[in-house]
Amino acid sequence: MRTIVQFRSFDRPVQLLLLNQLSINIGFYMLIPYLAGYLAGDLGLAVWVVGLVLGVRNFAQQGMFLIGGTLADRLGYKPLIVAGCVLRTAGFGLLGLVDSVPALLVASAATGFAGALFNPAVRAYLAHDAGERRVEAFALFNIFYQTGILFGPLLGLALTGIDFRLTCAVAAGVFAVLSVLQLRALPQRRSGDTADPRASSVVTQWRSVLANRSFVLFSIAMIGSYVLAFQVYLALPLEVRRLAGGGVAGTVGVATLFAVSGLLAIAGQMRITAWCRSRWGPGRCLVVGLGLMAASFLPPLITATAAAGSRALPTAVLLAPLVFSAALLALGTIVVFPFEMDTIVTLSDNRLVATHYGLYNTVFGIGIMLGNVLTGTALDLGRAAGLPSLPWLALAGIGLLCAAGVGALDRAGRLQRPAAAVASA
């Protein structure tokens, strides 16, 4: 009920953006979790080719966020949102129609680049229209975002059970409808800069963002938080399957991790955000949230030394620390996200907001890629060396470093609006 009241309190463009994000995630997550199985199973592609197709999609999105954000500030937010949805319609439709590797690579790149186009634009548009209520708007945004992640795979599972091509067609249809709705109903918005970004070159635009030292330092300090947040897709599922096996118990265990994360965000986001905001400033909220994310990697230490497939304890007991870990990780993310998104706008001083979001997304995309490689390596080496607890302690340490870094920036006044920071200095 609280969520509905908050949703209705915003103007129509914000409501439309939130519903769009829900639909975007449903359309995306009904297909992407099953793409690898389709490529390797139905099409019979080699594992390295499957990895290449998925890697191209990830690079086309993570590596191009800065381009998408820059274009959004120069052309306006609406054109980039619509263009991203149209491109993803084409990409998902093509995935269901082709079976040659070159065509699959083109389709995969299109779906990735589509995300790079609309993600920074959506966030900048939401920040623009929410005004001083940005924290509330981004809290709502996370609820709709997580709802899409929760229900998209369930719908995709039902459709893929019939035919993966049907899943592609439905996902493409979702984005086609979104394209039309946004083209017709979403008002045009553009950067709130007093100077038109188009009056300067793209290089000048990027230099001005990179010259924002507080923003750059904040981006670097937050990289580790995205490495930690991604472990609900990597380290925690791997540990579940190690303890429970790859059968039904393992599948149910992994599904439980995702369900706990999603349901906690859906049920608690608005209350948790309001509670934190009433007690602390944005910087303190970020530090507390990052501390919770760090603490979330301590419960797996309880079962880290348990043998694979151990039957000394019931499976539910073995997996309980991992489920608790996922819940703590989700709680930390819930606390961090609205204040993190708001801080980016604050540090940008409402100038080139989409470009700031684009660079920020690019930085954490690189961080996730490197972090996943290091995490996977640490899990293998730690167990081989007889130190299975080491990777979890390392992840907790990363969280503490992030919290310390953001705390130092907050104490130095670097998380304030630039003009305010200068005045206080």
- Domain annotation covers residue 197: no
Task: Indicate the number of domains in the chain.
Answer: 2
- Domain annotation covers residue 129: yes
| Residue ending a domain, choose from 164, 190, 216 | 190
CA distance 222 to 131: 24
- Domain annotation covers residue 207: yes
- Could you give the C-alpha distances from 26 to 22, 31, 32, in angstroms and in order? 6, 9, 10
CATH number, domain of 114, equals: 1.20.1250.20
Res 312: pLDDT? 66
Q: Is the pLDDT of residue 33 over 90?
A: no
Same domain, 401 and 339: yes
- Could you give the C-alpha distances from 35 to 40, 50, 127, in angstroms and in order? 9, 9, 33
Burial class (CB in 10 A: 0-12, 13-18, 19+), 377: exposed
Same domain, 184 and 73: yes
Same domain, 258 and 375: yes
Instruction: Identify whether the C-beta of residue 227 lies closer than 8 Å to the C-beta of residue 367.
Output: yes
Write out pLDDT tens, residues 265-279.
999 999 999 999 999
Instruction: Identify whether the C-beta of residue 261 lies closer than 8 Å to the C-beta of residue 326.
Output: yes
Q: Give the model's confidence band at 423: pLDDT under 50 very low, under 70 low, under 90 confident, else very high.
A: very low
- Domain annotation covers residue 183: yes
Same domain, 178 and 298: no
Same domain, 278 and 146: no
What value does the mean pLDDT take over residues 130-151?
93
CA distance 327 to 277: 21
- Domain annotation covers residue 90: yes
Same domain, 166 and 225: no
Res 193: pLDDT? 61
Res 384: pLDDT? 81
Same domain, 185 and 208: no
Q: Which of 17-21, 157-161, 392-396 has the lowest mean pLDDT?
A: 157-161
- Domain annotation covers residue 68: yes
Write out pLDDT tens, residues 212-262.
999 999 999 999 999 999 888 888 888 888 888 877 888 888 889 989 999
| Residue ending a domain, choose from 190, 225, 240 | 190
Res 421: pLDDT? 43
Q: Which of 220, 224, 258 is nearest to 375 (CA)?
A: 224
Same domain, 143 and 217: no
Q: Give the model's confidence band at 170: pLDDT under 50 very low, under 70 low, under 90 confident, else very high.
A: very high
Structural tokens at position 148:
């899409």
Same domain, 210 and 186: no
Same domain, 253 and 232: yes
Res 404: pLDDT? 97
CA distance 241 to 236: 9
- Domain annotation covers residue 8: yes
Res 175: pLDDT? 94
Residue range of the domain that includes 280: 202-425
Res 305: pLDDT? 84
Same domain, 247 and 186: no
- As a whole number, the mean pLDDT across the chain is 88
Write out pLDDT tens, residues 381-405.
887 888 889 999 999 999 999 999 9
Q: Where are the alpha helices (DSSP H) in 131-229?
A: 134-162, 164-185, 202-210, 213-229
| Residue ending a domain, choose from 143, 159, 190 | 190
Same domain, 96 and 4: yes
- Domain annotation covers residue 195: no
**DSSP at 139:** H
